[in-house]
Amino acid sequence: MLITSNAKTQLEDTLAKMAEAAELDKTRWSRLNTAYEAISKWLSDDPEFFGGVEIEIYPQGSVSIGTTTKPYGKTEFDLDVVIHIKLLSSNYDPKTIFNEVVRRLNENETYRKICEPKSRCVRLNYQGDFHLDVVPGCMVIIYNHELIDITDQKNEIWLRSSPKGYQKWFLDIANRVELTLLEMTFSAHKVEIEEYAKKKPLQRAVQLIKMRRNIYFDQNPENAPTSIILTTLAAQFYEGQSSISETFEGIISKLKNHIETLFPNRPFELPNPVNPSENLADIWVDKPELYKHFISFINNLHNEWQDLKKAHGIEEEAILMKGMFGNDPYIKAMEARAETVNQKRGNGLGILATGVMVDRAVEKSLPVMPNTFYGD
């Protein structure tokens, strides 16, 4: 972690560490991989329906784009994986595919105890770790590995989707910035770039927006805007800034202006960037009151950020940041800072005039690798 007297850089570092504190850690990421590999094998070993059928299983949503955020006040993450069954959807009805997945999972004693069928997924509740929403789907076109029809067994229809396409769309935008402000700061002072500093500003901004969303709607979660709405809007309004703070402010300010100028009284449509016929904000059509809650949230987020920018001193800044993003993430960020100070001083490292701790023996920083990670 950076220790610097530069207020902007120190804020940047704190925001990054707070977001990191709320994301899927490496241990749970490993357990997630183990979990969905086991699911894939269990389905593939089915002697009845799935035996001999190619099945690909992969994460979608926040896991796939590196924006996971732990729900406020809870220990379990809400995660999604896709079961991409290489059968043509045109040859099957969605209810059959869905029921076969449920049937096979229930044949396993472990899965049967944690299995909870939903409308479009089967939820597996891994106590203390995560809720894994398993989304079954089939091929739309042979040899097209991105497009998928997912099951909606409640309405008995196929829903067109492209999780891999959305992942690529989002990460292409996030990676428009080659070096983040934190990477440049580490590199400029010949300090090894830590992993948390490599995640792109858009990814961190989305995490922070969702963290604030979770707290703001803690008492009324049914009124909260969905993560796909917030993530898509953030990517659309991102302008390639290299810092988290500038990215965050740019997104919120442009979104607030977009609402006030064009849609102050009625919801706007939000076409899926990889499937334009799908309106990601269709829930606002059915429940317009949710759009009003969304506007209130964005206005509140904008005002709180302006207050944070005007904060005088560490104490006031701490109060505001804990209020916006949560007490635990802030404490973990400060604990990381304290640990860094103790370690660096214990190792006899020097502090530059800028306040950054450095190892004088290090003559050059490590090369920065392109960001392609989807989880940590």
Binning pLDDT at 50, 70 and 90, where does residue 108 land? very high
Kindly calculate the radius of gyration of the chain based on its CA atoms and give it in whole angstroms: 22
Query: What 8-state DSSP symbol labels residue 117?
Result: E
- 120 within 8 A of 135, measured Cβ to Cβ: yes
Distance CA 226, CA 214 (A): 10
Binning pLDDT at 50, 70 and 90, where does residue 366 land? very low
* pLDDT tens digit sequence for 128-179: 889 999 999 999 999 898 999 999 888 889 999 999 999 999 999 999 999 9
SS3 content of the chain, % helix, strand, coil (to 5): 50, 15, 35
Specify the residue for token string 């989304």.
135
What is the model's pLDDT at position 2? 64
Average pLDDT over residues 275-296: 96
Helix/strand/coil for 8: helix
* pLDDT tens digit sequence for 188-212: 887 888 889 999 999 999 999 999 9
Question: In b/e form, how buried is each residue of 300-334, taking b as 16+ CB within 10 angstroms?
Answer: ebbebbeebeebeeeeebbebbbebbbeebbebbb
Binning pLDDT at 50, 70 and 90, where does residue 345 land? low
Q: ∠221-226-232 over CA atoms, to 5°?
A: 155
Instruction: Evaluate if residue 261 carries a pLDDT over 80.
Output: yes
What is the model's pLDDT at position 344? 64
Instruction: Evaluate if residue 100 carries a pLDDT over 60.
Output: yes
What is the model's pLDDT at position 153? 80
Binning pLDDT at 50, 70 and 90, where does residue 313 land? confident
Instruction: Evaluate if residue 361 carries a pLDDT over 70.
Output: no
Measured over all CA atoms, what is the biggest interatomic distance in the chain, rounded to whole angstroms? 69
Domains and CATH numbers, the chain: 7-22+172-358 (no CATH), 26-168 (3.30.460.90)
What is the model's pLDDT at position 267? 97
The 3-state secondary structure of 292-351 reads HHHHHHHHHHHHHHHHHHCCCHHHHHHHHHHHHHCHHHHHHHHHHHHHHHHHHHHCCCEE
Instruction: Evaluate if residue 27 carries a pLDDT over 80.
Output: yes
Binning pLDDT at 50, 70 and 90, where does residue 109 land? very high
How far from 215 is each of 71, 134, 245, 324, CA to CA, in Å?
9, 26, 19, 8
Output 324 or 350, whichever has higher pLDDT: 324
Q: Which residues pair with 60 in a beta bridge?
A: 80
Binning pLDDT at 50, 70 and 90, where does residue 5 land? low
